[in-house]
């Protein structure tokens, strides 16, 4: 299908100093949990993006020296010549597909604790380190400033020699030393590097000049700058100092990469922001510089991209998360295959990889992070190796992914879904406040399945074990995959309580399934007990508060929605609940429900209190819906000796309740490994070993 002429502008080249892009699609720096530890893995991931049409592919932040060691987080490193060998793998993978490679050099100042190098931490001023490590940074002397400039210059030379086309000077996200110099919150100096904005910008200006001298005319020079911290007068504001910094340095770099700080603001989830949400903060930049401007906004719509360019907001469309969800997004737009784009859902499960110091993952793209170790590709899957036929029970995220991927391999698949609509938990959860974008998980897979002749889908098809056996015999099906999901418990069993919480039935208890299914009655005083610690407890509380209930959210954790720190949402979740009047009580657990009250115990204390309640919603743990599996695989299975099935496999939440991303991944892995003999004594993926 030819490209829609409306999108021609997206495929125009853009000159960045001495280099030129092949189009306007630019993958900005983003963390990936692989970095210097898994260089082949990250090189393969970047290579796939280059293959998918991105014109510029950037590294994550790259440490320039042991005095800026962000361990245990796994980022890129360019401490010495030995690190060049690891980065060269990415260079080769990117350049193989005619894309430009950019490197984001960073010294984090007091944001890093130097846990590995154990060197004293340098900072713009005498400050505590950003982490909770019990140590502080010392204020840099003039010699220290000169030394860091030398470190940065040396790293830039190595980057040039390594083959990078664009070298960054990083001053964003409140994670870099140049930004700390800019910020009056951090910069308490009284010399020529402190006080006025001109003085505070001196270090950044020097780094830009140093980098230009270091790389000459071999590389483009990019600056990444956070122009607004969303802290009002307590931080840098785009309308005042943010604009003044850009005006002051307007023509020094070859490219302006602009965003907002900190990372939780820059990478807001779809629950709290819309596509292109940063425009109001960065739109001024093109007015004050002649150099090209790139910016992010979780762009997935080509119409929005075109609008940003034609209205003079951006010259290049930047993406981190959309390039993770679909590494082939540019190619699909160019080929007119818009319906094939796996749109980012903005859940930030990708960010959680960096937060938990593990390789990146994605809800929409289960191949992300598996390009090297499992040889998975987002668009290419190995063909079938037999004429086996598969029955999949359950059309949730695992079942849909398995059916789609098996169909792409060429296998004959029958998908049976018990309800009127496919989608499972995704369909229910996407109806909750702020989660509508999550329905893209279902929409993409249904759209693909409808075009696969190999896959038949039957709705309103609830099959019991006997019917499965009969159906399989009728259609000559040898393999059954059970993707029947899970259900939320109503007894309070979870992390804190391993046995049901006692109650005398004076207060009715419910689960998230009841609230999502609209079987929850209009109730005045509701207790939401969150022992899950991800998004569900808070979003259930939000829905009930919106409906007019007086909601109290109780959690044993020390903060609400504790795990969402890993997806950069925790602060916003707490602010949202506070604005809705939700009472939040942390470090408490429900010990009993009796006499129309909820009896509470404080964690690690002997105090007991009570709260009157009209209803309790337990958000604690889930039970796999695996009865069919048990029946089919037990000795009492229907006609057990002649059942006729070669394999019966549980996938997704039916096996082990987890995230939607995990369900999609498990469905994909089932499809990839189907008809493959796996040796339990062999690690099922390629490892990267440290040389000894």
54: DSSP letter: -
What angle do helix axes 81-95 and 142-162 make, rounded to 10 degrees? 40
- In angstroms, rounded to a whole number, what is the distance separating the alpha carbons of residues 81 and 77? 10
Burial of 81 (0-12, 13-18, 19+ CB in 10 A): exposed
Contact 332, 344 (CB under 8 A): no
Radius of gyration of the CA atoms of the chain, in A: 27
Query: What is residue 421's three-state secondary structure?
Result: coil
The helix or strand, by DSSP H or E, that contains position 409, with its residue range, turns out to be: helix 397-409
Contacts of 641 (CB under 8 A, 6+ apart): none
The catalytic residue among 266, 326, 514, 532 is 266
- In angstroms, rounded to a whole number, what is the distance separating the alpha carbons of residues 91 and 1? 32
Strand order across the 509-510 sheet: 509-510, 615-619, 525-530, 550-555, 583-586
Residue with the two structure tokens 């393999």? 479
- In angstroms, rounded to a whole number, what is the distance separating the alpha carbons of residues 266 and 29? 12
The catalytic residue among 38, 170, 444, 534 is 170
Contact 529, 492 (CB under 8 A): yes
- 257 - beta bridge partners? 224, 294
Contact 32, 369 (CB under 8 A): yes
Handedness of CA 187, 188, 193, 195 (dihedral sign): positive
The catalytic residue among 36, 110, 173, 186 is 173
Contact 165, 212 (CB under 8 A): no
Contact 110, 128 (CB under 8 A): yes
- In angstroms, rounded to a whole number, what is the distance separating the alpha carbons of residues 186 and 314? 30
Mark whether 95 is an active-site residue: no
Which two three-digit tokens encode residue 488? 């939320």
Contact 567, 348 (CB under 8 A): yes
Mark whether 170 is an active-site residue: yes
The helix or strand, by DSSP H or E, that contains position 616, with its residue range, turns out to be: strand 615-619
- In angstroms, rounded to a whole number, what is the distance separating the alpha carbons of residues 570 and 573? 5
Contacts of 430 (CB under 8 A, 6+ apart): 423, 436, 437, 438, 439, 442
Among 539, 547, 617, 619, which residue's Cα sits nearest to residue 572? Answer: 539
Strand order across the 136-139 sheet: 121-123, 136-139, 127-128
What sections of 109-141 are H helices per DSSP? none
Query: What is residue 428's three-state secondary structure?
Result: helix
The helix or strand, by DSSP H or E, that contains position 302, with its residue range, turns out to be: helix 302-310
Contacts of 218 (CB under 8 A, 6+ apart): 18, 160
Contacts of 547 (CB under 8 A, 6+ apart): 522
- In angstroms, rounded to a whole number, what is the distance separating the alpha carbons of residues 603 and 506? 25
Mark whether 173 is an active-site residue: yes
Contacts of 42 (CB under 8 A, 6+ apart): 32, 34, 35, 90
Which two three-digit tokens encode residue 382? 């190995």
The catalytic residue among 26, 30, 31, 254 is 31
Residues acting as catalytic residues: 31, 170, 173, 266
């Amino acid at each position: 299908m030819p490209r829609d002429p409306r999108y021609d502008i997206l495929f125009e080249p853009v000159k960045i100093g001495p280099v030129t892009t092949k189009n306007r699609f630019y993958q900005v720096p983003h963390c990936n949990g692989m970095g210097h530890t898994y260089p082949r893995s990250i090189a393969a991931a970047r290579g796939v993006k280059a293959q998918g049409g991105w014109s510029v592919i950037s590294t994550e932040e790259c440490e320039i020296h042991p005095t800026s060691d962000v361990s245990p987080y796994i980022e890129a490193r360019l401490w010495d010549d030995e690190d060049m060998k690891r980065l060269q793998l990415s260079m080769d993978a990117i350049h193989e597909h005619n894309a430009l490679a950019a490197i984001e050099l960073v010294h984090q100042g007091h944001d890093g604790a130097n846990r590995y190098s154990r060197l004293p931490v340098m900072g713009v001023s005498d400050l505590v380190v950003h982490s909770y490590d019990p140590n502080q940074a010392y204020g840099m002397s003039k010699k220290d400033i000169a030394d860091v400039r030398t470190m940065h210059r040396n790293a830039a030379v190595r980057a040039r020699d390594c083959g990078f086309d664009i070298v960054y000077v990083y001053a964003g996200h409140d994670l870099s030393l140049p930004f700390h110099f800019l910020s009056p919150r951090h910069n308490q100096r009284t010399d020529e590097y402190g006080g006025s904005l001109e003085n505070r910008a001196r270090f950044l200006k020097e780094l830009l000049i140093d980098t230009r001298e270091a790389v000459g005319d071999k590389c483009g020079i990019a600056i990444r700058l956070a122009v607004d911290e969303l802290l009002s007068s307590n931080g840098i504001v785009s309308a005042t100092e943010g604009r003044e910094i850009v005006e002051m340095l307007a023509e020094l770099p070859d490219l302006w990469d602009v965003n907002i700080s900190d990372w939780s603001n820059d990478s807001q989830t779809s629950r709290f922001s819309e596509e292109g949400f940063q425009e109001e903060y960065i739109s001024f930049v093109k007015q004050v510089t002649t150099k090209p401007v790139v910016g992010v906004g979780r762009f997935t719509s080509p119409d929005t991209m075109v609008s940003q360019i034609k209205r003079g907001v951006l010259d290049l469309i930047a993406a981190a998360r959309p390039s993770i969800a679909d590494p082939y997004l540019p190619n699909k737009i160019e080929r007119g295959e818009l319906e094939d784009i796996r749109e980012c859902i903005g859940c930030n499960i990708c960010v959680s990889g960096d937060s938990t110091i593990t390789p990146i993952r994605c809800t929409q793209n289960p191949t992300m992070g598996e390009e090297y170790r499992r040889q998975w590709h987002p668009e290419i899957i190995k063909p079938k190796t037999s004429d086996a036929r598969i029955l999949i029970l359950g059309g949730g995220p695992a079942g849909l992914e398995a059916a789609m991927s098996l169909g792409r391999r060429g296998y004959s698949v029958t998908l049976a879904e018990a309800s009127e609509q496919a989608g499972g938990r995704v369909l229910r959860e996407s109806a909750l406040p702020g989660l509508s974008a999550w329905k893209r998980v279902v929409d993409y897979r249904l759209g693909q399945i409808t075009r696969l002749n190999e896959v038949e889908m039957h709705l309103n098809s609830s099959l019991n074990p006997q019917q499965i056996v009969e159906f399989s015999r009728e259609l000559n099906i040898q393999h059954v995959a059970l993707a029947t999901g899970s259900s939320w418990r109503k007894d309070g069993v979870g992390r804190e309580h391993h046995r049901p919480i006692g109650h005398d039935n004076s207060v009715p208890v419910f689960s998230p399934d009841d609230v999502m299914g609209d079987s929850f009655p209009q109730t005045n005083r509701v207790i939401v007990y969150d022992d899950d610690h991800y998004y569900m407890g808070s979003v259930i509380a939000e829905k009930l508060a919106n409906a007019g209930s007086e909601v109290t959210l109780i959690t044993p954790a020390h903060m609400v929605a504790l795990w969402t720190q890993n997806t950069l949402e925790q602060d916003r979740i707490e602010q949202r609940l506070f604005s809705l009047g939700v009472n939040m009580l942390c470090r408490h657990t429900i010990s009993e429900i009796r006499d129309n009250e909820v009896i509470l115990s404080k964690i690690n204390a002997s105090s007991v209190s009570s709260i009157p309640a009209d209803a309790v919603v337990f958000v604690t743990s889930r039970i796999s819906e695996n009865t069919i599996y048990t029946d089919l695989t037990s000795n009492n299975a229907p006609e057990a000796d002649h059942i006729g099935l070669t394999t019966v496999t549980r996938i997704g939440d039916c096996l082990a309740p987890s995230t939607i991303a995990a369900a999609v991944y498990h469905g994909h892995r089932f499809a990839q490994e189907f008809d493959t003999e796996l040796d339990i004594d062999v690690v099922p993926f390629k490892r990267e070993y440290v040389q000894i």
